[in-house]
Amino acid sequence: MAKKLLVMLVVLAMTFACIGCSSNNNVTLNDVSGTGNNASTESTSAQETTTQDPTRELTIGLAGDAYSLDPYPLNETITNGINHHIFEPLVRKNPSLQNEGVLAESWEVNDDGTVWTFKLREGVKFHNGNTFDVNDVLYTYERALTDMSAFKGMLSTLDSMRVIDDYTFEMIMIQPNVLLLSQINSLVIMDKETCEGLSDEEIALTPVGTGMYKLIEHVREDRVVFERNEEYWGEKPEATKVTYKPITNEGTRTANIISGAVDMITDVPVRDTVIIETDDKIKIMDAPSLRVIYLNLAGWTATPSLDSEKPMKSPDGSNPFQKIEVREAIYRAIDEETIIKQVMNGFAVPAATYIPEGFNGYNPNVKRLSFDPEKAEALLDEAGYPKKDDGYRFEITLDASNDRYVNDGDIAAAVAGYLEKVGIKVNINLMSRTVFFSYISASNKTGDNTHLCMTGWADSGGESTLMGMDMIYSKTQDGPVKDGFGGVNRGFYTNEKVDALVDQAMSTTDEVNRDQIMQEAWQIAADDISYIPLHFQKDIYAVSDRITYTPRYNKYVYAWDVTFND
């Protein structure tokens, strides 16, 4: 008891220093769960039906709140993870990254990948008792294609849909698309009868799905409370009531797990891991992540960030990022190994590419450029940006979140410090995740604001083609070169050869051939320094001994992945 009290005092005092740490409870990729399981074949204990038990209540502390309970305005991990308790897709990934049916029982595709036919699950009810059928799918997919949707790109190759009967329909493609299943994993189905005729704001206040949990209440920035859907069509999870608490302050999250106010927290501050482990009732777990943290540079336009209050400034008014020497200099100026050691306390691995090892299209020949500040300075001189009397060459703004990724504000500060050392003046513009993604949007939701941003991306589909479609497919300040492609190409990278390779991969059925095509695309993007990778972060959780939890590789925190130890 004395030991626990001492720990609490230390946490609440918020006087931690950054300390190196390691965990005896590391989770390997082989241990990490998938994005979803086929409920008709699920056999894990987390899915076993239990009798109603008032002790089966679960409280989880997250780093933030759901942006909306409308699942379509923002494609973001916390928001998606919460909404998936209410809504379900037709198909999702199992732990082996294979597609399994949820609201779709079966599907088939024609030989050239242009027509997909889906047979839907019968007997499924929405939380309000309405019957699920093909009309709900068509309504949802049509809404996903509207401008309000952050998932528009998932249906970028869709030409039309044709209803065969109440539980069968076809999706006809504009071009061959053999990866459609991995794209519609992200599209959860809404109740047409409830939503049709409502405004987007009203839809967000009326979340009705077919999922394992029903919404009880959402008090913004305080709690999201669910109760188990006792009429669920598949096997039911153990937890009968689930409360997600958005706790944005790191120290408060730590205090909550130590005090027992929550059963589990995500995004454990790296500096707190050792102090938490002194409590024998709490386990620290770190899991490999698919999330890469990286820099996007607006290097393919002469007029970057036209709407920014802190625009780029150079002696001749040019955009230095247009020169590959400058992009390479920025890359080489950053000491990523030191960032991982001192800022991340070892809970990250250096990245050379967007693509996680093991994904189709991962290119092992893409290597990280070495840290070399002297060469960086020489490259900047060569590019025509010598130091001026004040010691600076040009001035830029680094936009970053300060509450979305592990130590994101500190990482941004470290990056800025390294760039200052080679003569680049950096203004750091930190903001909350609640405004960050709209601010940096490549689709100009709030204007063309950023010329250099630090952000993260993860895709759980196992296919680098889909990441290529989102991240390196050409996009200009006027919009996408191809509708639905280049959605997060915030640097307006443009390369017709890369576009052609992505298009080719989208229609290539053979996995080996698709892998080779995308390896070439990622090599070109790396050679162009179309982005600057920093690291793949590790996801860190603290879990009380009351429960057992296995992290998912995509960091979605689902209540049905929890089992109780009593």
Among the residue ranges 166-170, 484-488, 511-515, the one predicted with the least confidence is 484-488
Q: What domains sit in the chain, N to C, each tagged with a CATH number?
A: 2-68+211-281+545-564 (3.40.190.10), 87-204 (3.90.76.10), 289-538 (3.10.105.10)
What is the rounded average pLDDT of the residues 456-461? Answer: 84
Residues sharing a CB contact under 8 Å with residue 176, sequence separation 6 or more, in sequence order: 112, 113, 114, 506, 507
Residue 67 token pair: 């942006």
CA distances from 156 to 92, 142, 285, 288 (A): 19, 12, 38, 30
- Count how many Cα atoms sit within 13 Å of the Cα of residue 210 in the half-sphere of its side chain: 26
H or E stretch covering 329: helix 324-333
- Count how many Cα atoms sit within 13 Å of the Cα of residue 554 in the half-sphere of its side chain: 25
| 201/199 Cα distance (integer angstroms) | 5
User: What's residue 483's pLDDT?
Assistant: 86
What is the rounded average pLDDT of the residues 190-219? Answer: 97
Among the residue ranges 87-91, 93-97, 225-229, 406-410, the one predicted with the least confidence is 93-97
Q: Are 116 and 109 in contact (CB under 8 A)?
A: yes
Amino acid at 213: Y
Residue 362 token pair: 């991962």
Residue 66 token pair: 């759901």
User: What's residue 33's pLDDT?
Assistant: 32
> What's phi and psi for 204, nearest 5 deg?
-65, -25
Pairing state between β 168-173 and 158-165: antiparallel
Q: Is the pLDDT confidence value at 326 over 90?
A: yes
Q: Is the pLDDT confidence value at 47 over 50?
A: no
Residues sharing a CB contact under 8 Å with residue 96, sequence separation 6 or more, in sequence order: 34
What is the reported pTM?
A: 0.78
Q: Is the pLDDT confidence value at 212 over 50?
A: yes
Burial classification of residue 320, based on how many CB atoms lie within 10 Å of its CB (0-12 exposed, 13-18 middle, 19 or more buried): buried
With cut-offs at 50, 70 and 90, classify the pLDDT of residue 433: confident
Q: Are 272 and 11 in contact (CB under 8 A)?
A: yes
Whole-number average pLDDT of the chain:
89
Residues sharing a CB contact under 8 Å with residue 61, sequence separation 6 or more, in sequence order: 245, 247, 253, 256, 257, 261, 262, 264, 265, 266
Residue 496 token pair: 């017709």
Q: Are 273 and 284 in contact (CB under 8 A)?
A: yes
| 509/262 Cα distance (integer angstroms) | 46
Residue 175 token pair: 């071009």
